[in-house]
Every structure is written in structure tokens, then in C-alpha cells.
């Protein structure tokens, strides 16, 4: 189990984040708890540079462990810093503390390519929805169908449970919006910095159309 008050996300001073809770959410998201999507096997062998993946690399999914946190934050920084810096400005210390807090309140899955950490999936399973908080992939994995497969697994789970998937994307991240639209997500909210999107299974959409016809 991770004790968040003992963690630092750099090799220097601790980030100042203190949380002495030993919560079920932290235990589930960082190493234990029941699996909600298919997982692969394999251990992290070391840091991976963005251009180092072979085209036919083996991509797997596994639960995150405390030892993954530094690498996952490096990926978080690489993927999201350009957007966050443009919208609010990047505060390294605040981002580290917030990242640790988010890790304690969601199920975290590590995306591995040939046993090297290449991304992560962050999901909250809630009573009436699945909330997809983040998908972050190193550049070498993009455009190879990995994100599509990850979202597809979530969509299968959501359809089984009869619930929607909800998420939000930065307004300035047009590529992310197009990606989710291609996978059947529709815009449901417009905020100053984010756009909310929702996916319903085809069966749910069909039932909604049938109810509309009956009501008419």
C-alpha cells in the first residue's frame, strides 16, 4: 500500500503533499483490488524514451504499483504540460501533489509496451457511470490503435453494466475531441476550459429512440 506522505516525485525535496489516510481507494488504485478491465502481465524494466518502441511491440495492461508513480508522473507531464501551461500555467509542485491525490481516488492501469511503462489509464467506477479521467500515452504509442483498444474495453464494460462513460477534454485539445467523437462520444457540456463528453451503448441509444417514438 502507498503511504502518500512518504512519496516524493523527484530525486530532491519532497513535494509537500501530506495525506496520512490509508483508504480503500488508494489501495485499489495502486496495486490491489478487483480488476475491472482485462489486464496483462509483466514488470517494468526501466525508463523508456518516446522513440524507442518497435512497431510490433507487445502492449499489455496491468494495475499500477507505488513503484510506477515517478514514471507515470513523467508521462503525465509530457502529455499534459503543453495544455495546462497554456490554460493556467504549469506549477510543478502543485501538479505533483495533485497527481498523487488523483492516484488515490481512481483505478490506475499501466500501459506497458514490451514490459516498459508507456502510458496509463485512470478510471473512476461510480454508481451510475464510468468516469474516464485520463488516458496518457507516450508519442511512440500514438496512432497505433492502443487508445482505441483501451476505450473499447471500457465501452464493453459500460455496456455490460448498462451505464454511460463520461469524460472531459481540454477545449484547446482538438485532437482528443476528434478521437472521442470517432469512438461515439458526444458533446454534453461546454465549460470555459473543458468540454464534457458522454458515450452510451448502441442498445441504450436504441431504447431512447423507442421511448421517444412511444411518447410521440
- In this predicted model, what pLDDT tens digit does every residue of 24-78 receive, in sequence order? 333 344 443 333 333 332 222 233 333 344 455 688 899 998 889 999 999 999 9
- Structural domain of 56: 4-215
For residue 6, the model assigns a pLDDT of 38
Tell me which of 20 and 153 has the higher pLDDT. 153
Cell numbers linked to 176: 482528443
Q: Which CATH number covers residue 29?
A: 3.40.630.30
Q: At what angle do helices 69-87 and 92-103 cross, to 10 degrees?
A: 120
Number of domains in the chain: 1
Residue 7 scores a pLDDT above 80: no
Q: What are the residue ranges of helices labelled H in 57-215?
A: 69-87, 92-103, 146-161, 174-182, 202-215
What percent of the chain is modeled with pLDDT above 70? 68
pLDDT, mean over the chain: 75
Model pLDDT, residue 203: 76
Which pLDDT belongs to residue 108?
Answer: 92
CA trace torsion 1, 4, 110, 73 (10° rounding): -160
Residue 92 has pLDDT above 70, yes or no: yes
Lowest average pLDDT, out of 24-38, 70-84, 131-145, 167-181, goes to: 24-38
pLDDT at 3 over 60: no
Q: Give the model's pLDDT for residue 75.
A: 95
Amino acid at each position: 500500500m502507498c503511504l502518500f506522505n512518504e512519496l516524493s516525485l523527484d530525486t530532491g525535496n519532497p513535494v509537500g503533499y501530506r495525506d496520512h489516510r490509508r483508504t480503500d481507494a488508494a489501495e485499489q488504485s495502486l496495486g490491489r483490488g478487483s480488476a475491472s478491465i482485462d489486464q496483462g502481465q509483466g514488470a517494468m524494466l526501466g525508463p523508456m524514451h518516446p522513440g524507442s518502441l518497435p512497431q510490433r511491440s507487445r502492449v499489455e495492461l496491468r494495475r499500477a504499483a507505488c513503484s510506477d508513480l515517478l514514471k507515470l508522473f513523467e508521462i503525465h507531464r509530457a502529455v499534459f504540460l503543453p495544455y495546462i501551461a497554456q490554460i493556467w500555467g504549469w506549477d510543478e509542485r502543485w501538479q505533483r501533489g495533485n497527481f498523487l491525490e488523483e492516484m488515490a481516488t481512481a483505478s490506475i492501469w499501466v500501459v506497458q509496451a514490451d514490459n516498459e511503462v508507456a502510458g496509463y489509464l485512470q478510471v473512476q467506477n461510480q454508481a451510475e457511470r464510468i468516469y474516464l479521467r485520463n488516458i496518457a500515452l507516450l508519442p511512440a504509442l500514438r496512432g497505433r490503435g492502443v487508445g482505441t483498444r483501451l476505450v473499447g474495453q471500457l465501452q464493453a464494460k459500460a455496456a455490460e453494466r448498462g451505464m454511460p462513460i463520461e469524460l472531459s477534454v481540454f477545449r484547446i485539445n482538438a485532437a482528443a475531441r476528434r478521437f472521442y467523437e470517432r469512438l461515439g462520444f458526444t458533446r454534453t457540456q461546454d465549460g470555459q476550459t473543458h468540454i464534457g463528453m458522454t458515450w452510451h451503448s448502441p442498445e441504450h441509444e436504441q431504447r431512447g429512440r423507442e421511448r421517444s417514438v412511444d411518447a410521440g
